[in-house]
Amino acid sequence: MGRDSFHGIGRGSANAEERWHHAAQALAGARLRNRTANAAVLIEGRRDRQALERLGFSGPIEVLNRGWPVDDVLVRLVETYGRRSERDHGPSVIVLMDWDRTGGRLQATIRRNLASLDVVFDEQLRSVLMRSLKPETRVVEGLSSLVDVLGPLVDMYDD
């Protein structure tokens, strides 16, 4: 993908292409673990699920906001996916809350509660997307509008 493909995306940022590739690499890694290691991606709502599915996520995606208390959702995650992935002994859950203020609070609560349950979880995807895509979006569902550019890059890194 050439530099012209990123025209206008980075809003004048000289490193837009680098940011997008970094985000795509993180998404590809998470998508691979989601698919092959059965690592559940925990997101906030159904639109977040749709965005991830549009980016090719085909493994388990769990929605936090389903009318249940956060603690109940987390206990269900442990019962369903275990404290570690049975397939590769890595994180059983990829926590991906929005990178806005509410998402940050939820991420901190989930981090604290999963740690208290001795669950191995991954927050790297959120960290990378927060740094790489903040000019374009601050929410997971916003990835839907970026699929045309991000999708081919994610596919390229997930061979």
The pLDDT tens digits of the residues spanning 111-142 come to 999 999 999 999 999 999 999 998 899 999 99
Query: What is the rounded average pLDDT for all residues in the chain?
Result: 91
| pLDDT over threshold 70, residue 157 | yes
Q: What is the mean pLDDT of residues 148-155?
A: 96
Q: What is the mean pLDDT of residues 37-55?
A: 97
| pLDDT over threshold 70, residue 5 | no
| pLDDT over threshold 60, residue 13 | no
Q: What is the mean pLDDT of residues 55-60?
A: 98
Read off the pTM.
Answer: 0.89
The amino acid sitting at 10 is G
Domains in the chain with CATH codes: 15-150 (3.40.1360.10)
Q: What is the mean pLDDT of residues 62-79?
A: 93
| pLDDT over threshold 70, residue 2 | no
Q: Look up tokens 């749709």; give the residue.
A: 50
> For residues 12 and 95, which has the higher predicted lDDT (pLDDT)?
95
CA distance 63 to 120: 18
Q: What is the mean pLDDT of residues 92-120?
A: 96
- How confident is the model at residue 14, as a pLDDT? 54
Q: What is the pLDDT of residues 14-45, one digit of tens each?
A: 588 899 999 999 999 999 999 999 999 999 99
Q: Look up tokens 């970094």; give the residue.
A: 22
- How confident is the model at residue 16, as a pLDDT? 87
